[in-house]
Amino acid sequence: MNKTSMRKTLFVVLVVITMILLGGFFINIIYPEKVEDTLQPNIIMNSKVYPKHSKELVIFSHKKHVIDNQIECSICHHKKIEDTIWKHENCEVCHKEGSKPIKLKLNKKERIKRFHKDAMHTLCKVCHLNLKKQKKPTGPTRCNDCHKKD
């Protein structure tokens, strides 16, 4: 390799590194908040889709899920606006009804889409059970573990 081609290669490498550094700098200016700064630490899952709660309310830890376990926001807040933009809404914005009436026949996908209880139990419980099967640390998988009695 001659001196001219080495200089060109070095120049290209320096330009790429500079672009990466400047890109990170501008992203921090445009999006200065860190995820942990925007999270509510604990959320009492008191959804308005239920006229009356039949079990104790669940206390959900954002910190434990997002910071400690590095679970992406889009896993729970999965309302997609565009390919790369996720709208972070509360669950009941989409899952507008509480519990499925016993006589109503729907497949699992329809139940999850429509009913808050099915969505929460599928999302939370299935994730925790999958981690348990993999012998990884996990969250609660039984009713009274989430719906704690005083």
**Chain segment 42-98, per-residue pLDDT in tens:** 888 888 888 888 888 888 888 888 888 888 877 887 766 555 555 667 788 778 888
Beta bridge partners of 127: none
CB neighbourhood size of 116 (10 A):
22
The pair of structure tokens assigned to 7 is 């200089």
80 and 137 assigned to the same domain: yes
Between CA 117 and CA 139 the distance in angstroms is 18
18 and 43 assigned to the same domain: no
**So what's the pLDDT on residue 27?**
64
C-alpha distances in Å from residue 3, one per residue of 6, 9, 79: 5, 10, 54
Residue 104: domain span = 36-146
Between CA 81 and CA 87 the distance in angstroms is 6
Total structural domains in the chain? 2
Between strands 79-80 and 86-87, the pairing is antiparallel
27 and 66 assigned to the same domain: no
The CATH number given to whatever domain includes residue 135 is 3.90.10.10
